[in-house]
Amino acid sequence: MVSCARGLRPAVFLDRDGVIVIPHFQNGRSFAPRRLEDFRIYPDAAASLDRLKQRGFLLAVVTNQPDVGQGMILQSEVDAMHERLRRELPIDMLKACFHRQDENCDCRKPKPGMILAAAGELGVDLTKSFMVGDRNSDIEAGHAAGCTTVFIDLGYDEAPPDAPDHIVRSVAEATDVILGTTPTTQGAA
């Protein structure tokens, strides 16, 4: 188990699409699934998140879902997807921003609003926590919140983040990096 001062616990914040959910790819870009029947969790996600839980990490999904704000998908469809994540993965919290980019809200990544809100509600030590994402906005939000960042490079046709702390190719590799860089207390699994 990982221990932190002041009773706060470490967490792993995870983006949804491209990290634990398989996105749709088109012309070098990724897109969130828009129908529940197209919603697929990466095969290694559950085992990876289980490993993190066993080591004492809280797990929070923080996801931008602007397709709702743009009227491309109903929020009820996204809610059904998120209920499936809660059933199938050992997550402690899920935060979603449904705003469009032009609304300039505080919750939409690259701003750290969702991370900070989840950290406050869960009692998280951000200095001992990680943000895992597949886009520049995820890495910027993680840095702004004070987390160590892990970039999952899926080869998108867009600018990669400037300075992620780690670069990997999957959530399983991200888990290996997190567990490999985190000190454990005696008797931890």
The dihedral through the CA atoms of 91, 2, 4, 147 has a sign that is negative
| Catalytic hit among 15, 92, 125, 134 | 15
With contact defined as beta carbons under 8 Å apart, do 111 and 137 qualify?
Answer: no
Catalytic-residue membership of 15? yes
For tokens 């929070």, the residue is 60
Q: Is residue 106 annotated as part of the catalytic site, yes or no? A: no
> Which pair of structure tokens corresponds to residue 137?
């906005």
- Annotated catalytic residue within 17, 67, 92, 138: 17
- Amino acid identity of residue 82, one-letter, is H
Q: What is the dihedral of CA 36, 76, 22, 132, to 10 degrees?
A: -160
Show which residues are catalytic.
15, 17
